[in-house]
Amino acid sequence: MTGKVAIFLHHPKCSVQSANGIIKALSPKYTFKIFTKHEIEDSFFKDVDVVAFPGGIGDSDTYSYLLKENNKPIQNFIDRGGRYLGICMGAYWADQDYFDILHGIRVVQYIKSPRSDIKRSYSKAADVKWYGEKEKMYFYDGCTYTGGGKYTTIAKYKNGDPMAIMQNRIGVIGCHPESDKSWYDRKYLKPHWHKYRHHNLLLNFVDELMER
């Protein structure tokens, strides 16, 4: 599977580190183009298969400021059959308050889930199961999903809440499989560096998204 990914970049909200991680993870099979908050035309997406929104530092309410110029071209791309990849912040933006591209699903903070094993917003190696396999995946105030809409669960948090899901051509991930070694700079994180194994999980995730 090959294709082209358009990545939105506005550091630190959709950060350089996250975008670089996505590029590194997907580069064996995909090519890339970058766009920012500055206006683009519908034709920008003519050769694009996936639009990707990385994670970063900030809150989801920055959406209106960052996407006011390009909301329509992105919506048109998705309506024409384009695929959406959202990681952390980008996953929150798939919610009905923003792009509104998930049906019957709300995107909410995992730390506020009644049964969450993580209660504060900080960098952590979260316990997850990705296709049933245990992993310690980089987490920083990531999301989970509620509601009665149908979707495919790719990964779950420790408490069983969905962490990574696909619905039609929309793929959203609460943790950071694109994380790089430099993210694990704190003593309590260093033992959980995944040695790029999580990059392979992200690559497989996008391959599966491309098949939809």
Judge whether residue 121 has pLDDT over 90: no
The string of pLDDT tens digits covering residues 163-209 is 999 999 999 999 999 999 999 999 999 999 999 999 999 999 999 99
- What mean pLDDT is predicted for residues 8-30? 94
Q: In terms of pLDDT, which residue wins out, 178 or 58?
A: 178
Q: Stretch 132-136: mean pLDDT, rounded? A: 98
Place of tokens 């094993």: 117
Give the count of alpha carbons within 13 A of 162, CB side only.
22
pLDDT at position 85: 98
pLDDT at 63 > cutoff 90: no
Q: Which of 70, 113, 80, 101 lies closest to 171, judged by CA?
A: 101
> 197-210 and 16-26 are packed helices; what angle lies between their axes, rounded to 10 degrees?
70
Q: What is the pLDDT of residue 21?
A: 98
- Above pLDDT 70, what percent of the chain? 99
What is residue 14's DSSP assignment? B
Query: What does CATH list as the number for 3-210?
Result: 3.40.50.880
Say what the pLDDT of residue 60 is: 67
**Residue 206 identity:** V
CA torsion through residues 91, 97, 98, 99, sign: positive
- The answer to whether residue 48 scores a pLDDT higher than 70 is yes
Q: What is the reported pTM?
A: 0.96
Of residues 19 and 68, more confidently modeled: 19
pLDDT at 59 over 80: no
